[in-house]
Amino acid sequence: SAVISQKPSRDICQRGTSLTIQCQVDSQVTMMFWYRQQPGQSLTLIATANQGSEATYESGFVIDKFPISRPNLTFSTLTVSNMSPEDSSIYLCSVAEGRYNSPLHFGNGTRLTVT
């Protein structure tokens, strides 16, 4: 399966600032996704990162808060904007290999703490 590198691994940020998380895959993948996992909760899909076009956001998530870039088939970024303590979470990049019904594989995650 693809090797997914995500950085930073963790960060502590002040409220009102923004953080950009990077996700690099060692091979071209069709589907890239960004998930959030709040403390004690299940993984929640934020958006699907589309190559060459705007990301597709899930209900409850908006582009102004979570802008996403996907300039090519191996790289994506997620920005958490104007952060508040409620944004403290693990953020995960994931990819699917493109075959129908193929499983998701996850990056190593970014643990974000907003103070």
Partner 1 sequence: EDKVVQSPLSLVVHEGDTVTLNCSYEVTNFRSLLWYKQEKKAPTFLFMLTSSGIEKKSGRLSSILDKKELFSILNITATQTGDSAVYLCAIGGADGLTFGKGTHLIIQP
To the nearest whole angstrom, how small is the minimum distance from the Cβ of residue 47 to partner 1?
Answer: 11
Min separation Cβ 72 and partner 1, Å? 23
Angle 70-109-9 (CA atoms, 0-180°, nearest 5)?
A: 100
Distance separating alpha carbons of residues 45 and 29, to the nearest angstrom: 18
Q: Convert 31-48 to b/e letters by CB count within 10 Å (16 or more is b).
A: bbbbbbeeeeeeeebbbb
- Interactions with partner 1, residue window 35-74 (CB under 8 A): 40-45
CB 74 within 8 A of CB 27: yes
Determine which residue in the list 47, 78, 107, 114 makes contact with partner 1, applying CB under 8 A: 107
Number of residues binding to partner 1, judged by CB under 8 A:
19
Q: Which stretch binds partner 1 (CB under 8 A): 20-28, 60-68, 70-78, 99-107?
A: 99-107
Task: Catalog residues that contact partner 1 under the rule CB under 8 A.
Answer: 1, 40-45, 90, 92, 101, 103-111
